[in-house]
Amino acid sequence: MPLRVVASRPDPALLPLPWSQPLAEWDEVHLVPLPQGLSRHVVRIITTGVGGSTYVAKETEEQLAHREYRMLRELGSRNLPSVEPLGVVTGRTGPAGNPLPSVLITRHLRFSLPYRWLFSHGLGAKELPAIIDAMVVLLVRLHLANFYWGDVSLSNVLFRRNAGEFAAYLVDAETGELKSTLSDAMREHDVSVGCENVYAELLDLTASGDLKESVDPSVVITLLQERYDALWGELTGAEEFGAEEMWHVEQRIERLNELGFDVDEIEMVATPEGDRYLLQPKVVELGHHTRELAGLTGLHVEENQARRLLNDLAAYTAHLGLGDEDPEVVANQWLVKVYEPIRAMVPSDLRGRLEPAELFHEVLVHRWFLSEAAGHEVDIFDTARDFIATQLPQRPPMPSS
């Protein structure tokens, strides 16, 4: 059987790679030394050469590779947080003609990290709630789209920093299924599996020494269950109000916006009594602040980062008295005079420590501490210079491609 590549966006530079060798035997010239999570498959982060693209290659059975490829494409088409599939390589044979496993290829998610790397590079018990929150948001978003994961775990997630918190991305859809509707029983099973896996992973982190502080895993998985139930309830739960209390509708939408979700459709149903209504969001999607910032500035960042940048843009607008000006014009002025100059201040040898939006967030946090100590507001550019000189070099280099 000849070598065959099925790809959504073919990269001709992939074809000359040594597909006749098992991934475990590939020479370092084809590999990128980026952190990897645990996997039951052979997984390698590969490159097409100097200046080329970076991908993740996973050996698996042909049927499973094609199934996961199609699943990831469908998740991507729905704007769900998952890695981007590039293609599947089949028909691999070794030098002696022996068959080799098929390979699923996904694009490496820039600035993403597996949980083990995060904890081995400074994360501790106090950051665990932020990690759990990121997993909960990911799981709820997938469930809203009627996706049954089947194997919820820290190992199947990649994390990106998100204004002091984290955003989670699904990296393994091998067991996932998209349903026409997702039953409560399937949702509850996903959460139950997630609790079991996270419990075991926390024990493993402690045993390996990557999690230095003493942590009670049962407390953490209770937190996971509680926060999942709370977010699911806020996004999908019905509330009753009287005919004279229509402000409940706007209040509910504002609460969802504050959580970062936009409401595309909302349903109000009259109760049998006739003078009361049941209010229930029907379609919600994360990215309220992300879309607002992108519309104003063209920046595409994580949700919490967007919220932080929008707050600074609002402060800039108020400080200069530009409230009556065109918001897009003011946003472009802020981008050119504040955001981009601070980004450009980072020397080339430190640019891999934080992605630009996270750097800007950290500078804003640093300004608060400097201003508290000085007793007055410190200039943003003086703050950035101080942060880059004293704080940024202490951050571990952020692997990126």
pLDDT per residue over 185-208, tens digit each? 999 999 999 999 999 999 999 998
φ, ψ for residue 155, nearest 5 deg:
-65, -25
Domain assignment of residue 293, yes or no: no
Q: What are phi and psi of 50, to 5 degrees?
A: -60, 125
Residue 201 and residue 254 in one domain: no
Distance from C-alpha of 289 to C-alpha of 303, rounded to nearest angstrom: 6
Predicted local distance difference test score (pLDDT) of residue 334: 97
CA angle 228, 282, 266 (to 5 degrees): 125
Same-domain check for residues 185 and 218: yes
Same structural domain, 249 and 345: no
Backbone angles phi, psi at 313, to 5 degrees: -60, -40
Residue 40 has what pLDDT?
Answer: 84
In a domain, 294, yes or no: no
Does any domain span residue 195? yes
Instruction: Tell me whether residue 145 is in a domain.
Output: yes
Q: For residue 273, how many C-alpha atoms fall within 13 Å in the half-sphere facing its CB?
A: 8
- Which of 160, 228, 174 shows the shortest CA–CA distance to 198? 228
Give the chain's domain count.
4
Q: Residue 338 — φ and ψ, nearest 5°?
A: -125, -65
Could you tell me if residue 291 is inside a domain? Answer: no
State residue 274's pLDDT score.
66
Tell whether 262 is covered by a domain.
yes
Residue 77 within a domain: yes
In a shared domain, residues 282 and 382: no
Q: Are residues 87 and 36 in the same domain?
A: yes
Answer yes or no: do 124 and 100 share one domain. no
pLDDT score at 75: 96
Q: Are 362 and 391 in contact (CB under 8 A)?
A: yes
Where does residue 12 rank: exposed (0-12), middle (13-18), buried (19+ CB within 10 A)?
A: exposed
Token representation of residue 372: 């508290």
pLDDT given for residue 1 in this prediction:
64
Through-space distance between the first and last CA atoms of the chain, rounded to whole angstroms? 33
Torsion of CA 223, 225, 226, 230, to 10 degrees: 130
> What residue numbers bound the domain in which 333 lies?
300-394
Instruction: Identify the bridge partners of residue 261 per DSSP, sorted by sequence position.
Output: 286
Q: Which contiguous run of DSSP H or E holds residue 166?
A: strand 165-170
Domain boundary among 62, 77, 107: 107
Q: Has residue 399 been placed in a domain?
A: no
Within this chain, do residues 132 and 90 fall inside the same structural domain, yes or no? no
Q: Are residues 264 and 164 in the same domain?
A: no
Give the pTM: 0.87
41-46 own/partner pairs: CB under 8 Å, 24+ apart: 42/101, 45/108, 45/401, 46/17
Which residues does the chain have with pLDDT short of 70?
Answer: 1, 243, 273-274, 398-401
Domain identity same for 38 and 66: yes
CB 8 within 8 A of CB 73: yes
Contacts of 143 (CB under 8 A, 6+ apart): 182, 187, 190, 232
Same domain, 135 and 212: yes
**Residue 143: both structure tokens together:** 């469930």
Q: Are residues 329 and 279 in the same domain?
A: no
Quote the tokens at residue 52.
Answer: 């080329």
What pLDDT was estimated at residue 401? 47
Confidence (pLDDT) at 250: 82
CATH number of the domain to which 16 belongs = 3.30.200
DSSP at 379: P
- Of the three residues 72, 107, 142, the one that is the final residue of a domain is 107
Q: And the tokens for 234?
A: 């806020």
Q: Are residues 229 and 140 in the same domain?
A: yes
Share of the chain above pLDDT 90, in %: 68
Element (H, E) at 107: strand 102-107
